Amino acid sequence: MIQFNQKQIRIGALVLSVMIVMIGYYFYTVLQNTKEDTIEISGENVIEKEEPEEIENQIIVHIAGEVKNPGIIKTTEGARIADIIRESRRIK
């Protein structure tokens, strides 16, 4: 069996403590960044109940990665990516 002296035990405990703190901080930041907002882009007329035809033309875009405002955006068919990103910046 390997015998450790007091100095080796203290250094090992310190290294283990630092590793535990770093892993905890990593998971804490990952959990904080998983919050996503849903942004709905609509025209001038707001319709409370969507018609089945509009649901068929609806597109849901998920913006993720290193962006300022990640989240899910609902838009209509034919919308451009640049317009969706511009709208997500305006809403936040």
Structure tokens at 61: 């875009």
pLDDT in tens, 19-36: 999 999 988 887 776 655
Q: How confident is the model at residue 1 (pLDDT cuts 50, 70, 90)?
A: confident
Whole-angstrom distance, CA of residue 35 vs CA of residue 53: 31
Tell me whether strands 71-76 and 37-40 are parallel, antiparallel or unpaired: parallel
DSSP assignment letter at 48: S
pLDDT in tens, 52-81: 555 567 888 887 777 777 778 788 878 887
Contact of 60 with 73, CB cutoff 8 Å: yes
